[in-house]
Amino acid sequence: MRKTLGLLAAAFLALLVTAGPACAGTRERLSLDAGWLFHLGDVVPPAAKGHGMSYGGAKAGNAGGAAATDYDDSGWRRLDLPHDWAVEGPFDPGENASQGYRPRGIGWYRRYLAVPPSDRGRHVELQLDAIATHSQVWVNGIVVNRNWSGYNGRNIDITPYLRYGEDVNVIAVRVDADAQEGWWYEGAGIYRHTWLVKRDALHIATDGVHADPVRQGDRWIVPVTVDVESSAKVARGAEVEVTVTDPAGRQVATGRARVQVGALESSTARLELSVRQPTLWTLQQPALYRVRSVLRDKSGELDRVDVQTGFRTVRFDADRGFFLNGEPVKLQGVAIHQDHAGVGVAVPESIWAFRLRQLKAMGVNAVRFAHNAPAAEVLDLADRLGLLVMDENRNFNPSPDYLPQLTWLVRRDRNHPSVILWSIFNEEPLQSTEVGYEMARRMVAEVKKLDTTRPVTAAMHDGLFGDVNVTQAVDVAGLNYQAWAYDRFHKAHPTQPMTSTEDTSAYMTRGAFESDRAQHVLGSYDDEPSDWGATHRKAWRAIAERPFVAGGFVWTGIDYRGEPTPFEWPSASSFFGAMDLCALPKSAFWIHQAHWVKDRLVVKVLPHWNWAGREGRPVRVMVATNAQRVRVLLNGQPVAEGDVDPIDMVTFQVPYAPGRLEAVALRGGVEVGRDSVETSGAPARLVLTPDRSALAGDGLDAVPVTVSAVDAQGRPVPTANLPVHFELQGPGAIIGLGNGDPNSHEADKGSDRSLFNGLAQVIVQARRAGQGGLTLRATAPGLQASSVVLDVTAATPPAAVPEAGPFTKIGGWRISPPQGDRPDPGTAPSYGDMNTWGWGEPPMKQDPDGPTWRIYRASFGVRADRNDGRARLVFRDISGRAEVWSEGVKLGEKTDAAPGPLSLQLPKGPAWRTLNVLVQAQAGQESGLVGRVVLEPAGP
């Protein structure tokens, strides 16, 4: 018998182990992106009038309108995040040019969320990576967050507000995108990822691991701090073990520390690990190390966090600029905003990878994410690709409502080897005032509390020489468009390092070589600087020739929506990029490539060679190359030759004749490579060129496909501007389209897009759990169609929170005092009486007494999808006899006094109902609404 019991116990234990919560102790990071409901426009709750509504509305959990738990969202649109509603909208000349003439407005999101009872006692955090622009978040009708920036993430502990089991939770988010923080396109909505992170009550805090290697003399140490916090009910102790693993997966250092954390408190474990001769993180070989922190107690592993970091030193020198690992590196930088063709600001990570690879190909080694924090995954990419990052805070404001944005940025990003410079602001008019200085001083101090290894800058557009100015509060002086001041500042402040934080601002339309201001077209010979900027070449010369200027950041690497300077409507996106909105190269791409790429030949001949009607007349030919000299051949015959200025490049006038134009790059008189363009005929066939031929079927991976046209001989037609229609078959979708024309008003969504100067882009994304061939077909009237098959490979999608639907629980019950006689079913508490009638939620059990009566009264909203006359009003358990009344009508009754359920059909009726449930106790028996009262949809 004993043995049997023992076996049974063992079996039960095994069951617990296998059937219990998947990883009771350890962290689950679940994507919350799928299954949101969206409503464009505000939902204004009815104004509170009268005592009952005012009193009720002031209580935790009772938010009104679309924030209410039981709000009827049955007509809302279902979608998956990330989502930018602005890019779905039309162009409207009445809207703001700076925001790309897109309506923004206000929108609401709701997400239902079931949490299993096994999660009771765990710590549950809602992470919102960014929402444009102001937002408010409620969980179960309780406001849990307000935020005043479209660029910072929020990590919200929602543990106390959660309901478990069938009682589904609801997250509501109101997004105010009428608020603007920039003069560029900012998008609208929950445009970055969302997560639900479940951990043990004792766990490692979000962004709580700081592990940034430092060199001390000839040895490397990794000072590690691990913040541990607890939502447990009692103090707990644990051990933190940290291991550092090299790029090959070998453990190179390990250490342990103990923490003791009080209930609802936090504590920090500190370790110092030493690593011998690590492989350095360099731009060419960005070696990444993993730092794993594991939290354990006697019961086993409680939590684990991996961060990626790298071993490298950074230093800004007042005379010699920037040094990486002791070697001088000129910052060949670009500034970029975050929107992309087709997708707005909801940019998949794989499209970011494409954008950054394009920049890297251009010779860029530094990126300034202007003027705000990028998504976390973008910095991971920068680490992996070997790009340096100037990491910028959005709002210049050290007040308690705003400083946390800076704190969040530094805590999140301080392990990244790519991040070399913090920027507290861009171009602030207060920059040379005492107020500006005092504000900056406080923000710099905040950064220094969290990271002492990287300098701080601020991008100033004047005021460098004011008596009091922000250069005095920062480590590195940041100059926007002040090439005139480079020498003067260096002379006046010979010990302060400086960099250009922004320069150039020159215009170009991709593929256009003649400016036509009436048509809002700007030519691509790099001779269209803005009034305040300089050409790409001039701006770079001023930096390149001064070793004390650490480098520069071209405005911009890639075009962005909004700021269509020097034009306004109908132009809707920028002309500044070295690449267009699709990240397809303009001439400036090749010019900078020639400036910046040192380890391979660059030779690019510009423009195209389709100049019908210009025969015999000179066409300006520019060759962008890092070779010394160039010979130009037209149809095989030499027509020009000249030395190349390494910054200005070389330009010739070549009389036009159709055919083949070639640029032969020469070094020491010997050909080292060549590039050519060829006159083409009418477009005959479309060509689809995907950036990659396979994509992962994880619901995230996306591939940009370049669309072009060729003539009957297969030669590209760079002047083709013709409409193209797309069809996609297989496990995926077209998520956006673009063509880089700043004047285009074609939709970013849908299946049609014109070629602009020969090119367009379609972005396709694989479906979650997708697999097989994804066929993209492009057609255009009169042209041979083209199709391409992309291979969607099986991939494990990120673990996700299952989708859930609304659960209508009737709550907020008032309970009348006991009465000897059956009361009138219409009885209600008297006006303003918040005390004589009680308050409660099931289980509501009254002690056994005589055969008394009580009324249980509650009001509730009936969702449209439950107001069909078929929904069931279910009382899970009533103890006593009961009559159910609503709006003066008896819906049904329970005649048996023994505890039991009651299920009634809810007739069609108004959206707002009040229930009066008359319960008559059975003498000597508990009475009341013991089980939940829910409104269930009619069965299938």
Binding residues for ligand GAL, rule: CB under 6 A, are 183, 370, 426-427, 461, 480, 502, 505, 530, 533, 555, 563
Closest separation in Å from C-beta 183 to ligand GAL:
6
DSSP labels, 329-373: --EEEEEE-S-BTTTBT---HHHHHHHHHHHHHTT--EEEETTS-
In this structure, which amino acid lies at residue 665?
A: A
CA distance 35 to 81: 8
Please identify, using beta-carbon distances, which residue of 68 and 336 lies nearer to ligand GAL: 336
In the block, tokens 């970011």 appear at: 352
Please identify, using beta-carbon distances, which residue of 426 and 432 lies nearer to ligand GAL: 426
Closest separation in Å from C-beta 556 to ligand GAL:
8
Closest separation in Å from C-beta 135 to ligand GAL:
23
Closest separation in Å from C-beta 492 to ligand GAL:
23
Closest separation in Å from C-beta 857 to ligand GAL:
59
Please identify, using beta-carbon distances, which residue of 316 and 560 lies nearer to ligand GAL: 560
Closest separation in Å from C-beta 184 to ligand GAL:
7
Beta-carbon count within 10 A of 117 CB? 11
Please identify, using beta-carbon distances, which residue of 194 and 426 lies nearer to ligand GAL: 426
Closest separation in Å from C-beta 576 to ligand GAL:
6
CA distance 558 to 703: 18
Bridge partner residues of 847 (DSSP): none
Please identify, using beta-carbon distances, which residue of 395 and 757 lies nearer to ligand GAL: 395
Closest separation in Å from C-beta 408 to ligand GAL:
22
DSSP labels, 554-576: EE-SB--BS--TT--TT--B-S-
What the block records as the tokens of 103 is: 């309506």
Strands (E), 537-656: 551-555, 603-606, 618-625, 629-634, 637-643, 650-655
| CB-nearest residue to ligand GAL | 505
Closest separation in Å from C-beta 744 to ligand GAL:
21
Closest separation in Å from C-beta 336 to ligand GAL:
11
Do residues 184 and 581 touch, judged by C-beta distance below 8 A? Answer: no
What the block records as the tokens of 912 is: 């707002």
Closest separation in Å from C-beta 532 to ligand GAL:
7
Please identify, using beta-carbon distances, which residue of 137 and 506 lies nearer to ligand GAL: 506
DSSP labels, 219-250: EEEEEEEEEEEE-SSS-EEEEEEEEEE-TTS-
Do residues 346 and 358 touch, judged by C-beta distance below 8 A? Answer: no
Nearest to 825 by CA among 886, 899, 775, 760: 886
32: which residues sit within 8 A by CB, 6+ positions away? 81, 111, 113, 126, 194, 195, 196, 800, 801
CA distance 363 to 585: 12
Please identify, using beta-carbon distances, which residue of 123 and 394 lies nearer to ligand GAL: 394
Do residues 638 and 661 touch, judged by C-beta distance below 8 A? Answer: no
Please identify, using beta-carbon distances, which residue of 405 and 574 lies nearer to ligand GAL: 574
- Burial class of residue 442 (count of CB atoms within 10 Å of its CB; 0-12, 13-18, 19+): middle
Please identify, using beta-carbon distances, which residue of 50 and 566 lies nearer to ligand GAL: 566
CA distance 287 to 275: 14
Nearest to 751 by CA among 776, 728, 726: 726
Bridge partner residues of 900 (DSSP): 878
Please identify, using beta-carbon distances, which residue of 102 and 461 lies nearer to ligand GAL: 461
Strands (E), 363-466: 366-369, 388-392, 419-426, 456-460
Please identify, using beta-carbon distances, which residue of 529 and 937 lies nearer to ligand GAL: 529
Closest separation in Å from C-beta 416 to ligand GAL:
23
Closest separation in Å from C-beta 722 to ligand GAL:
32
Please identify, using beta-carbon distances, which residue of 391 and 502 lies nearer to ligand GAL: 502
Please identify, using beta-carbon distances, which residue of 183 and 569 lies nearer to ligand GAL: 183
C-alpha distances in angstroms, 775 versus 13, 354, 749, 767? Answer: 51, 21, 18, 13
